[in-house]
Amino acid sequence: MNFGTAEKPKSGFGEESRNWSGRSKNSGKRPRKKKAALPAVNRVVADQPAEVRALCVLLVVQAVVSYRSVPRILDLLGGAMASGLGWVPHFTSVINWTLRPGLGLINQVKAIDSPWLAIIGHSIDIGTKKALVVLRVRLEALSNRGAAIRLEDCECIGLKISETVNGESVAADLEEIFRRAGTPKGIVKDCDATLRKGVRLGCRNSPFIRVEHFPIFGFRFH
């Protein structure tokens, strides 16, 4: 009689252990997906960010390229260059960099000695809010041009964004802008009733300012 170690009887359910419902423990679980390898992140060279920022602003301002297209152009240029750019910014960074020079120019507005005209108007291209834009055009530029003025003849001296606009708010904005930029020789605007009331209230302390009304006049932001 053999008293050696007896083999354990095999289960009738197979070699894999099963639960009370007769299913395998791993049968109801989905196979785990392997995590995709993250792309290599290019390091920013110390002397490169300033050049990339300047290139982004020039593409928007001079080449009139959309903000979202700038990273794609840089990616294309980086692949064509031997050394490569090594860093492509997000389009939101391009927006911030492009707006900074304009904000800096508005903050540096001051009075000038030569006579000038103020061109004012409202734009509703920004959501539900209105933008009051004030441009300064020198009379010398008008006389030298002898035709319609161009972008280089204008200087933006004021930009006010408001959700509620009335004559009193326009007058307050114009007084603040003219306090920094000086007093114009005349104001050019359209026939909007709100602007008309705002200009009348804003110029009550300066009756010598001439106001001209034009039936069609407006701004468009790009």
Rounded to the nearest integer, the mean pLDDT of the chain is: 76
Asked whether 189 and 215 are in contact (CB, 8 A), the reply is no
Q: Tokens at residue 207, please?
A: 């009756």
Contacts by 214-219, CB closer than 8 A, 24 or more apart: 214/188, 214/189, 214/190, 215/190, 215/191, 216/190, 217/121, 217/188, 217/189, 217/190, 218/121, 218/122, 218/123, 218/190, 219/121, 219/122, 219/123, 219/131, 219/133
174 has a pLDDT exceeding 80: yes
215 or 151, greater pLDDT: 151
Whole-number Å distance between alpha carbons of 174 and 110 = 14
Please give the pLDDT value at position 43: 46
The band of 20, judged by pLDDT with boundaries at 50, 70 and 90, is very low
Parallel, antiparallel or unpaired: strands 154-162 and 129-138: antiparallel
pLDDT at residue 135, as a whole number: 93
Q: Which residue has the higher pLDDT, 200 or 125?
A: 200
What pLDDT is attached to residue 13?
46
CA distance 210 to 143: 18
Per the CB < 8 A criterion, the answer to whether 189 and 148 are in contact is no
**Residue 171 C-alpha from the chain's centroid:** 28
Q: Give the separation between CA 55 and CA 169, rounded to whole angstroms.
A: 39
Residue among 205, 210, 139 at smallest CA distance from 175: 205
Residue 95: per-residue pLDDT: 93
Highest mean pLDDT among 74-83, 130-139, 212-221: 130-139
What would the mean pLDDT of 98-118 be, rounded to a whole number? 89
Closest CA to 159 of 132, 179, 137: 132
More confident residue, 126 or 130: 130
Give Rg (Cα) of the chain. 34
